[in-house]
C-alpha cells in the first residue's frame, strides 16, 4: 500500500500560521489605521505609475523577505490537495492579490504610498518562498527526517501554542524599559490620563490600592539592576516553560530550549542593529539583563522534570508577577535614551507591529493558559459525570 491513512494529512499548524501571518501583513501594511482620506485617485491607479524616483535596495529586499514566509506557508497550508508547481503558482497568485489589495488601500492612508514596485517585490517574495518550500513540503509534512522529528519530539494538536511561542521573539524586539518587560500597556494607558481623571479613578479604590504610591515603595528597596534581572528572569522563564509544553519528554528538550533562547537573542540583536541610529546591537545587554538571562534559562531547565500542569501553572505565576512589576515600577532612567536612539520613523508599520505584540503577548499567553485549564476541567467533569 503506497499511502497509509495517517499520511498526506493537511497541516492545521500551517493553516493557522498562514492566517496569523496574513493578519500581521494586514496590520503592518495599514498601520496606524488613522487619518484616512481620499485624494481623488482610483485605488488601483498606482499600477500604472512610473517607477519610484527614490529607490533603495534595502526597501526592495525587505519587501521580498517580508512575503517569503507567506509564500512558504501557502504551500504548506494547501498540501496535499495542491502540490508542486500548482502550489507555487497559487502562492504567487495569492501573494500578488494580497499585496495588490494592501497597496490599493494605502492610497487612502496619509503615511503610506501605494507603489507598483512594492507589489512586484512582494509577489516575488511570495514566489521565492513558495519555490524554496515546495521541495521540502513532503519531507516536512509527509515523510523524511523532518517529519519524524516533528512526530517524535512534539505533541499533536498544539498548533495555537506553537504559534504563540513563535511570536515571543518578535514581541521582544521593541525596546522595553527592562529586557523582556512586555505587557506594559496598562501603565501607558494610565499615563495618558490627566491628573483629574487619575484622581477620580483612585477615589473609587481604598488608599492602599493606589498604584501611584507603589513605585515609590518598591523602587528604593532594591537597585534597578536587580529589578531588571528579576523581570528578565520571570519573562524568559515563562516563555521557556510555555515552549516546553508541546515537547515530548524523550525529545532533546534542553537543546531545543537553548536554541530558542539563542534564536530570540539573534532576533533582538538584528532588530536593534537595524533600528538603532548609532548602530549599537547590544545596548540592551546590561548587567541586570544578562543576569536575568542566565537565571531564567537555568530556572526553566530545572522545571523540565516537573509535570506539564505544574510548568503551565508556574508560567502563569511568572507572567502575572512580571506584569505587576512592569506596570508598577518606575521606568529605567536610561530607557528614554534607548528609545530616542530607535528609528521610529523607519518602517513605521514594523515598529507599530512589534510594539503591539510587546503589549499583548503576556495577556494572550495567560488567556491560552486559562483556556487550557477550562478545557481540562470540562474533560474531567465529563469523565466523572
Sketch the domain layout of the chain as residue ranges: 12-153, 162-384
Q: Which residues contact 156 (CB under 8 A, 6 or more apart)?
A: none
pLDDT tens across 176-217, in order? 888 888 888 887 777 777 777 766 766 666 665 555 555 555
Spatial distance between the Cα atoms of 86 and 68, rounded to a whole number of angstroms: 17
Cα(first)–Cα(last) distance of the chain, in Å? Answer: 43
- Give the mean model confidence (pLDDT) for residues 310-321: 93
H or E segment to which residue 158 belongs? none
Residue 155 has a pLDDT of 82
Picking from 309, 222, 296, 227, the residue whose alpha carbon sits closest to that of residue 265 is: 296
Backbone angles phi, psi at 93, to 5 degrees: -65, -45
- Give the mean model confidence (pLDDT) for residues 5-11: 58
14: number of Cβ within 10 Å: 22
Spatial distance between the Cα atoms of 120 and 51, rounded to a whole number of angstroms: 11
The SS3 of residue 49 is coil
Spatial distance between the Cα atoms of 90 and 96, rounded to a whole number of angstroms: 10
Backbone angles phi, psi at 276, to 5 degrees: -80, 130
Spatial distance between the Cα atoms of 343 and 340, rounded to a whole number of angstroms: 8
Residue 268 has a pLDDT of 87
> Higher confidence at residue 293 or residue 31?
293
> Higher confidence at residue 239 or residue 338?
239
- Give the mean model confidence (pLDDT) for residues 38-57: 73
pLDDT tens across 273-313, in order? 777 666 667 777 888 889 999 999 999 999 998 998 899 99
Spatial distance between the Cα atoms of 382 and 380, rounded to a whole number of angstroms: 5
Query: Which of the four pLDDT bands, split at 50, 70 and 90, describes residue 170?
Result: confident
Residue 343 has a pLDDT of 61
Q: What is the DSSP string of 169-232?
A: HHHTSS--SSTT----HHHHHHHHS-HHHHHHHHTTS-GGG-GGGHHHHHGGGS-HHHHHHHHH
Half-sphere exposure of residue 142, counting CA atoms within 13 Å on the CB side? 17
pLDDT tens across 252-265, in order? 999 999 999 999 99
- pTM (2 d.p.): 0.71
Mean pLDDT, rounded, of the chain: 81
- Give the mean model confidence (pLDDT) for residues 337-353: 61
Amino acid at each position: 500500500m503506497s499511502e497509509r491513512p495517517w499520511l498526506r494529512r493537511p497541516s492545521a499548524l500551517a493553516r493557522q500560521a498562514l492566517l496569523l501571518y496574513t493578519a500581521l501583513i494586514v496590520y503592518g501594511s495599514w498601520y496606524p489605521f488613522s487619518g484616512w482620506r481620499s485624494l481623488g485617485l482610483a485605488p488601483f491607479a498606482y499600477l500604472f505609475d512610473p517607477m519610484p524616483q527614490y529607490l533603495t535596495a534595502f526597501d526592495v529586499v525587505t519587501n521580498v523577505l517580508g512575503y517569503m514566509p507567506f509564500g512558504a506557508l501557502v504551500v504548506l497550508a494547501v498540501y496535499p490537495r495542491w502540490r508542486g508547481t500548482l502550489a507555487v503558482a497559487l502562492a504567487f497568485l495569492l501573494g500578488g492579490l494580497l499585496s495588490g489589495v494592501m497597496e490599493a488601500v494605502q492610497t487612502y492612508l496619509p503615511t503610506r504610498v501605494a507603489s507598483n514596485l512594492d507589489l512586484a517585490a512582494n509577489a516575488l517574495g511570495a514566489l521565492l518562498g513558495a519555490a524554496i518550500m515546495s521541495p521540502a513540503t513532503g519531507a516536512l509534512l509527509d515523510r523524511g527526517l523532518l517529519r519524524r522529528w516533528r512526530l517524535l519530539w512534539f505533541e499533536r494538536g498544539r498548533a495555537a501554542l506553537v504559534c504563540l511561542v513563535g511570536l515571543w521573539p518578535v514581541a521582544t524586539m521593541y525596546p522595553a524599559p527592562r529586557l523582556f518587560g512586555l505587557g506594559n500597556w496598562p501603565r501607558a494607558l494610565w499615563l495618558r490620563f490627566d491628573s483629574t481623571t487619575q484622581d477620580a479613578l483612585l477615589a473609587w479604590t481604598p488608599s492602599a490600592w493606589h498604584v501611584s504610591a507603589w513605585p515609590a515603595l518598591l523602587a528604593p528597596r532594591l537597585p534597578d539592576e536587580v529589578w531588571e534581572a528579576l523581570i528578565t528572569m520571570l519573562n524568559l522563564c515563562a516563555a521557556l516553560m510555555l515552549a516546553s509544553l508541546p515537547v515530548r519528554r524523550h525529545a532533546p528538550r534542553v537543546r531545543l530550549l537553548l536554541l530558542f533562547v539563542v534564536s530570540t537573542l539573534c532576533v533582538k540583536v538584528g532588530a536593534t542593529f537595524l533600528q538603532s541610529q548609532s548602530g549599537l546591537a547590544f545596548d540592551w545587554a546590561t548587567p541586570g539583563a544578562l543576569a536575568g538571562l542566565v537565571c531564567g534559562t537555568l530556572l526553566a531547565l530545572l522545571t523540565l522534570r516537573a509535570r506539564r500542569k505544574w510548568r503551565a501553572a508556574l508560567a502563569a505565576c511568572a507572567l502575572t508577577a512580571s506584569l505587576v512589576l512592569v506596570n508598577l515600577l518606575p521606568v529605567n532612567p536610561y530607557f528614554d535614551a534607548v528609545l530616542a536612539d530607535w528609528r521610529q520613523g523607519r518602517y513605521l508599520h514594523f515598529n507599530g507591529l512589534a510594539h503591539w505584540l510587546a503589549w499583548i503577548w503576556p495577556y494572550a499567553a495567560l488567556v491560552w493558559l486559562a483556556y487550557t485549564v477550562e478545557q481540562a476541567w470540562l474533560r474531567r467533569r465529563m469523565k466523572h459525570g
